[in-house]
Amino acid sequence: MDEVAAAIADPVRRDILVMLRAGRLAAGVIADRFPISRPAVSRHLRVLRASGLVRDTLVGRQRLYELDASRFAGLIAWLGQFDPAAGWEHRLDALETEVYRTRRERRESPAVGHPAAEQPAVEHPAAGHPAAEHPAVGHPAAEIHRSRRERREGGAADQRQERTA
């Protein structure tokens, strides 16, 4: 992890990593994109190779470099402890799961002595109507009932598009 952190400490090396994200590049192509000498770029590539972030392959007379992003895993995991949102995300997901589990249990077995448990089920007057199948579709309060995960994955953007259409 220390070698990776040291390797990405230099802005030229970070730029090289960004370039290699798109795919393999020859050393000459990498060097041409910087205002520093080829030997200086070569030294930066050597540091990246030593850290394991970059692999090189000799193809004919060209040396091709490619990114090995798997070496970032240890550093990313270590940095994750400083992200306060990561801890809250896990806790809120657990709370959401518990709320849905409790609601499901209440629907499946109403409490004895509860008025809903003693009354027979009454069919809704709009039963059979297509809107009764999905009463929340198009309703402004429907967003409240959608899970945070759906909203995070773009469900809210889809609903906004439906409203503007």
Residue 131: per-residue pLDDT: 47
Least confident stretch, 7-21, 63-77, 104-118, 143-157: 143-157
Q: What tens digit of pLDDT does each residue of 55-87 get?
A: 988 888 888 999 888 888 888 888 877 777 666
Of residues 15 and 127, the one with the higher pLDDT is 15
Structural domains present in the chain: 2-74 (1.10.10.10)
| Pick from 56, 58, 108, 77: nearest CA to 1 | 77
Of residues 128 and 136, the one with the higher pLDDT is 128
pLDDT cut 70: percent of the chain above it: 64
Sign of the four-CA dihedral 21, 35, 41, 56: positive
* Under 8 Å between Cβ of 143 and 156: yes
| Pick from 116, 18, 28: nearest CA to 64 | 28
CA–CA dist 36, 33 (Å, integer): 9
**Could you give the 3-state DSSP secondary structure of residue 7?**
helix
